[in-house]
Structure 1
Amino acid sequence: MKENIHPEYHKVVFMDSSTGFKFLSGSTKTSDETIEWEDGNTYPLIKVEISSDSHPFYTGKQKLADAGGRIDRFKKKYNIN
């Protein structure tokens, strides 16, 4: 494997901006913002718009689209039989 071509891998804290949920993980991404974590260490803080705490698939609050109704409205709109 070639040396000095891979980005540096370090610990960062990701924060879901919609729920405030935070988790510590490894990443190559960096940030100017920092946060003190539960272990007393300071880590870079990366804000994300959605995480497992707010994503409908993980929360069970997923809206299911009425596929039949959508198809019928499309056919009616374009006069398709």
Structure 2
Amino acid sequence: RTANPKDRRQSIVRLTDAGKELCRRHQAADRRNYGYISQWLDGFSDEEVSLVLRYEARMRDLFESLNKDIGERLL
């Protein structure tokens, strides 16, 4: 992290070499996983894929809500 020479209130943040490597590995894993998912969904129609994605979003929202509710109960 370095100060922005044009505006000292701002910081410029750059990845370290280790961070760049981690990012590269993460992107490679994302590409592999996307390939797997594409193969799994290959037999689905566009409408079915859309439905799967909508259900996945609803489930993600449900779990986020449950996690928030559980966290608030623990406080």
TM-score (structure 2 length as normaliser): 0.30
Greater RCO, 1 or 2 (C-alpha within 8 Å, sep 6+)? 1
TM-score scaled to structure 1, two decimals?
0.28
- Quick check: which one's helix share is greater? 2
Which is greater in Rg? Answer: 1
